[in-house]
Amino acid sequence: MELVAAGLLAFFAIGYFVLGGADIGLGALLPFLGRTPAERRLVITGIAPVFLGNEVWLVATAGVLVGAFPDLEGKLLTEHFPAVVALLLGWVVRDAGLWLRHQFDRRAWQGLCDTAVTLGSWTVALAWGWVFSGLLTGAANPIIGVAVALLFAVHGLAFAALRLSGRSRERAAWLSGPLTEFRMFVLTAAVMALLCFAVGFRLPLVDSAADPATLKLLVPTLLVITPVLVLAQVWMWRLFRHRAERPMYL
């Protein structure tokens, strides 16, 4: 049961960093990809339909961690508390910018919300870099932290090349080089997944698992819920698979 729980934790975490990492990186590059108000609105359109669905993976990851590995959850929260606080603050600021942007049709207000999206996205990316550097090296390492944040940005560029259109897409497409845009996204997603595996192998998952009775109840429940989550994600991404051609949503 411990190995199955660890596998589920890895599955949800990789899902978050591959899918959620894409829209975090896209938000971080909002000023680069959107040079005019209309272009920035288009970039927001690229984020809007998927960001809440992507965050479900993070909620699922946290749920598995708390339920199946409570000792590890407490240790991680204690050792990386400042980074977790920064992560939550960045998450709130970013989502507030996305949700509130359409409330007032004024350039100053929308500019403020765009700044919140950008700063919040970079805060989330850097906070994850902070956490990952601590887990990989035993102490916060600024170089690794910044490298992880830049990986989010590169992954966001690859996502933008798939998701956006017009000049915003052209600015993102240079990353692909000789590769197709889809292959570039797969490549950056694979690097994200490998990073998750590298961190996961540093965690004492089996030794910190919950008692057998808890796992016996929790793991079968997760095995039932997981296909539903996957099908919902597939449906959502298929529904919004087309490029963002004009400003919509938020």
pLDDT at residue 58, as a whole number: 92
Tokens of 190: 């694979």
Tokens of 59: 């909620």
Q: In angstroms, rounded to a whole number, what is the distance separating the alpha carbons of residues 210 and 130?
A: 27
Burial 25-54 (b: 16+ CB within 10 A, else e): bbbbbbebbbeeeebbbbbbbbbbbbbebb
What are the sequence ranges of the domains in the chain? 2-239
On whether the pTM is more than 0.75, the answer is yes
pLDDT at residue 25, as a whole number: 95
- DSSP notation for 52-94: HHHHHHHHHHHHHHHHH-HHHHHHHHHHTHHHHHHHHHHHHHH
Low-confidence residues of the chain: pLDDT under 70: 247-250
pLDDT at residue 248, as a whole number: 67
pLDDT at residue 179, as a whole number: 78
pLDDT at residue 209, as a whole number: 86
pLDDT at residue 250, as a whole number: 54
pLDDT at residue 47, as a whole number: 87
pLDDT at residue 107, as a whole number: 87
